[in-house]
Chains A and B, each alone.
Chain A
Amino acid sequence: MLKKSLIAVTLSSLLIAPAFADLTINGFASIKAGITLDSDDTLYGYDDSLDFKNESLFAVQLMSDLGEKLSVTAQLMGRGAEDFDVEFEWAFISYQLTEEIRINAGRLRTPFYKYSDFRDVGYAYDWLRVPQSVYGLGFDNIEGISFYHTTQLGSFDSNLQLIAGAYDGDATVSGNSVDAEIKNVLGVAWELGRDWYSLRAAYLRGKVTIDAQSAELQPGVTFGTFFAGLSGAGFATLVNEIDINEEDGAFFGVGFTADKNDWLLVAEYTTVKVDNSFIANQKNFYVSLGHRFDSITPYVSYEKEDNEAKTEIYTPYLATLPPQLLVPVAGIVQSQARKATTYNLGLRYDFHPSAAFKLQYSSEDNKIADLRQDVLAFGVDLVF
Chain B
Amino acid sequence: MRTIKTVLLLATLLSGAAVADIAVVVNPANANAVSADDLNRLFLGRASSFADGSKATPLNMAEGRPAREEFDSKVLNRSAAQLKAYWSKLVFTGKGTPPKELADDAAVKAAVAADSSAIGYISSSSVDSSVKVVASF
Interface pair B84/A354, CB less than 8 Å apart: yes
Contacts of B18-34 to chain A: CB distance below 8 A: none
Residue pair A125, B92 in contact (C-beta under 8 Å): no
Take A157-B46, A353-B80 as given contacts and tell me if A73 and B88 are in contact as well, using a CB distance cutoff of 8 Å. no
Contact partners of B97 in chain A: CB under 8 A: 24, 63
* Cβ B64 vs Cβ A61 within 8 A: no
A353 to B84, CA, bound (A): 8
Contacts of A353 in B (CB 8 A): 63-64, 80-81, 84
A interface SS class: strand
Q: How far is the CA of A125 from the CA of B93 in the complex (A)?
A: 14
Asked if A32 is at the interface (CB within 8 A of a chain B CB), the reply is no
Query: Which residues of chain B have C-beta atoms less than 8 A from A28's C-beta?
Result: 88, 92
| A123 interface hit (Cβ, 8 Å) | yes
Residues of A within 8 A of B63 (CB): 353
| Of B81, B88, B95, the contact of A121 (CB 8 Å cutoff) | B88
User: Contact at B88–A90, with CB atoms within 8 Å?
Assistant: no
A192–B93 alpha-carbon span in the complex (Å): 18
What's the interface size class on B, roughly? 20 to 34
Q: State in angstroms the CA–CA spacing of A161 and B116 once bound together.
A: 33
Binary interface encoding of chain A residues 15-43 relative to chain B, with 1 for a CB under 8 A from any of its CBs, else 0: 00000000010101000000000000000
A121 to B87, CA, bound (A): 11
Cα A26 to Cα B95 in complex, Å, equals: 14
The answer to whether B92 touches A118, judged by C-beta atoms less than 8 angstroms apart, is: yes
The yes or no answer to A284 lying at the interface (CB within 8 A) is: no
Per-residue 0/1 for B71-109: is the Cβ within 8 Å of any A Cβ (1 yes, 0 no)?
Answer: 000000001110011101101111101000000000000
Beyond A61-B92, A353-B63, whether A123 also contacts B85 by CB under 8 A is yes
Check B89 against A121 for contact (C-beta < 8 Å).
Answer: yes
**Docked-complex contact A26 and B49, CB < 8 angstroms:** no
Q: With A73-B94, A350-B81 in contact, do A124 and B88 touch (Cβ < 8 Å)? A: yes
In the bound complex, residues from chain B placing their C-beta under 8 Å from that of A26 are 91-92
User: Which residues of A lie under 8 Å from residue B92 when comparing CB positions?
Assistant: 26, 28, 59, 61, 75, 117-118, 120-121, 124
Is the beta-carbon distance between A117 and B93 smaller than 8 angstroms?
yes
Apart from A117-B95, A124-B88: 10 A-B pairs, beta carbons within 8 A: A26-B91, A26-B92, A73-B94, A104-B94, A118-B89, A118-B92, A123-B85, A150-B46, A157-B46, A295-B81
